[in-house]
A and B are shown apart, each in its own frame.
Chain A
Amino acid sequence: MMHRVIVSALSVGLLLTSASPLYPASEEVVAPVLSRERVVLRTLAGDVVLALFPEVAPKHAAQFLRLARSGIFDSIHFYRVEPNFLVQVASAHERLNPLLPEQKAIIEDIPGEFNRVPHREGILSMAREAEDPDSAQTSFSILLGEAPHLDRAYTVFGKVVSGMDVVREMVRVPRNRDSSPRVRLTVHQALVYENEEALASLDRIGVRPIPVPSRFFDPPVSASDPRILHFLAGGIGAMVLLSLSGFLFRMKLGGSSLAGLLMLNVFIGAFLLFVILAPRAHQNPRMALGTFLGLLTLLKLLGRMESPS
């Protein structure tokens, strides 16, 4: 009986605490106390260092640290990129390495801790279901600009203390119409450092260009694009060189080797065509099928490239 009374009293107290504003309505908190811990997101584009707001969003801060420490953010990715607004990390359930059972067990709904810290550049804001304020789990956003319409509707729980240039680098990647990036913006790892001093031991990776911004869904590269021209010129040059070599050394090379040279030329030519056609192929099923069957034919031919001479 006593136990129930204590639990009830604590629950009411907790409810009252969570319902009462942490700060007076008129006072806008712009510089909340930062956590001692630092979380480093090692992304495709470099390191982003985060600090949390344990006083204005204690549950979010604690759960975020727990998630990061258990490796749940390793291999997640930013699935939404909207310049001047935000970049958003996808749910951990969609990460590259499937979650381990023990990791899945850690993920739980975090009740909303809507506070008065405004949504502005560098702020971390927890995502949630639109209809359920207490449904935040693992997806969060980094704000790229002011977004007052999100204030007190989404929980602000931390901010980027270093590495906004890395975030801006990610914003540069080509995007689809639904704001998803065309290259996977992977967070390779999330590292937790207990304090600033510990963070100093990290060999920080500064901003670096995204290695392969996929242009696959872009309109096909124009034939006048200098890169295409250079590539084609190089490939055709190699083919000419091989043909010339074959001609010059035709006496020394056996028939099989000459046939091999010819096949090699076919291979290079087919690869040039593949690079040109593949980006266009998905727009036309017949072209896609033709490209695929052409590739299979090439592989079949290559198997007979050179017989013992």
Chain B
Amino acid sequence: MAENKAENILEISHLEFSFRTYGGVVKSVRDVSFNLRQGEILGIVGESGCGKSVTCSCILKLNPEPPGFFGKDSSIKYKGEEIVTKTNREMRRIRGAEIGFIFQDPMTSLNPTMTVGKQIEEVFVGRGVTGAEAKRRALEILTLVGINEPERRYKQYPHELSGGMKQRVVIAIAMVAKPSIIIADEPTTSLDVTIEAQILDLLKELRDKIGTSIILITHDLGVIAKMCDRVLVMYGGRIAERGTVDQIFYETAHPYTAGLMRSIATLDTAKDEKLVPIDGTPPDLFAPPPGCPFAARCEYAMKVCYERPPKETQLAPEHRCCCWLLHEKAPKVDLRRGRGEGQA
């Protein structure tokens, strides 16, 4: 498909990130490689603790170091520039201006003692932008994110705004310097459904207007389907499967992805039909299993799954999956029919 049409704005290869804790070293991200293209929306989906947020914080080096540290071969290239080796001072030039970050909870992401306007303008502090210019751009971005009476809102404090408005302000902060990439870490998790739809539409609209690439972290497959061009499915600090939205939804190749699909309700789900949860808990990242991280919860797990990590198999252009079932000698299974549903 469009594999080579757009250029990569962000190239991440062999990213490893761990935290030293009193209990030992937590390997949060293990050998993750992916690219982000100009103008696309890339979804990262996975359950809590699968490493999706840590991966994205690595891009801006927002994880505290120490106790966190990068693996030896980790490389994050933004427009060809290596991020991993940059100092905090050098990172400041990129943060906010080149890559914007939208945090999960708008209620706590804004400083309660600073006006909305000041918080937006702060992105320009130390970047050679005059006060008047900063204010003009702050007002402009407030209008763009759909806030009425920007002049009045500019002077208000976060507690005078509703949750949806606060998230719009958080987005405004991320967008005001017109960055090339926006990382949105579950931007709608704490909002109600109507506001969620508005915020997602807004993100998409901004992408179309400004041409920003977006990395959208979520655990909501509905959001993925609505928003994204491509999807990464993460599990236990690794990428389990990647592909376009259609490939992930209709040509599911990884048992974990299939499990995620089966655990959501659709309009066709009959009233008495039970949703199928994925049994078990995610792997202990203090001592990750030597094989596939999902093996312990996988209903198709074979002996090899516990012993050796699976390699990524290219299934189609864009579509790659990390699973032993795709090995030529593995038995063929139909992931659409879970074991529970098989007999029904």
Decide if A and B are genuine partners: no
